[in-house]
Structure 1
Amino acid sequence: MTRSEIGTYTCGIAKDGVTANASVMVSVIEGNSPMGAVTFDANRPITNGKMVLVLHDSALIDCHSQRNDVTFTWQFNGSSTLPQNVKVMGVALHIEFMEGTKEGIYTCIVSKNGLATSASVTVSVKEEKARVTQVTASPTHPGANHPLDVVCHLKGYPQPIIIWSFRDPMGQTYMPPGSSNLTPDRVHLDRFQPSLHSGTWTCMARNSLGVDQMSINI
């Protein structure tokens, strides 16, 4: 790639008298570009080109150029397609809701008259040991033959794996009949039967950093 190849490349297709086309602008990114340096301002710390966010946090990264009248574009891992809930707001990149699918390299490209320069920041999720914060039942005191949901509230990254268990008043551990997992963090009973479902429900959460568990008596 040299400066002589700078320009707009267009692909056109035609069939039965109908045509369509799409274009892409190709620029040169130079290490010592006359475009000057690209810098970032952000509402979260950036250290050595890296930003670490808490799971479900948000971030705003402003891109700045030493030149005026330039065009700003953002890429994610080399692609112009950004993850869901990551938006460009003027010259800034807004990560609305941080999760694993948004981990990667975000690059701000500044271009003008076929020349370009760029800077990148690597964004990742802070690792956290699996932790069960609460186990709840809805309703709190279920009546016979009424539906019941037992929910495990947890934190941690990578996303913890959940294992449910039940211990009856006789000390036997098993998953009672009539229970189902609507989601990994929720056990559902269509009809609560005191003789089958009264006991201790335990949620155990595990990820690569550790294990935690908590129980509720129903």
Structure 2
Amino acid sequence: MEYLVTMTTQVPAGTPEGDVQDIRTREAAHSRDLAAQGNLLRLWRPPLQPGEWRSLGMFAAGDGDQLEKVLASMPLRVWRTDEVTPLAPHPNDPTGQTEKPRSVAPEFLTTFTVTVPAGTPRETVDAALAREAASAREQAGQGHLLRLWTLPGQGRALGLWQAGDGAEIQAIMASLPLSVLGWMDVQTTPLTPHPSDPALAGG
């Protein structure tokens, strides 16, 4: 099973810089080990405020208990809080497995929330979902859509995308059939590379 983990680190005031660097070095080494074991799939940095220390990680584990053991084994956990979101397969996922980036294009996470208007005929819904599935295949074929998962909650999904810039990803989101219908709310998070990302390290 795959999980998205938001990892927020707060170093205690007065901690010597040498101690911080030591743990960061051990964290990087342990991340490589977790990647080799197949537990750590990807790492990114989301937009950060000055002084904020936060990462997004894609992990694989048999269940929540195994994931907790993985997270607890990471050296930075002594200063870190983790927010775990379980991910389930999505029928429009283009690969069924985590891919490495296909290019150096920026990556984005998108959270979709679909709300079908009450009273919409079933055949109208089915036709819209079929167009959305076809669009997902097209976007994957163009190298934009890398992964798609189902999130907890009704009508929610998470996507991993590549695009040239923020304007291009917004144009892609606006072109999706469910967005055109006004049935889908999209929240987009731009991602920047993390030095311990297994994909960038050749993981």
User: Given the two structures, how large is their TM-score scaled by the length of structure 2?
Assistant: 0.24
Larger Rg: 1
Q: Which has the higher contact order (CA 8 A, sep 6+)?
A: 2
Q: Which has the higher helix share?
A: 2
Question: What TM-score results when the alignment is normalised by the length of structure 1?
Answer: 0.23
Bigger share in strand: 1
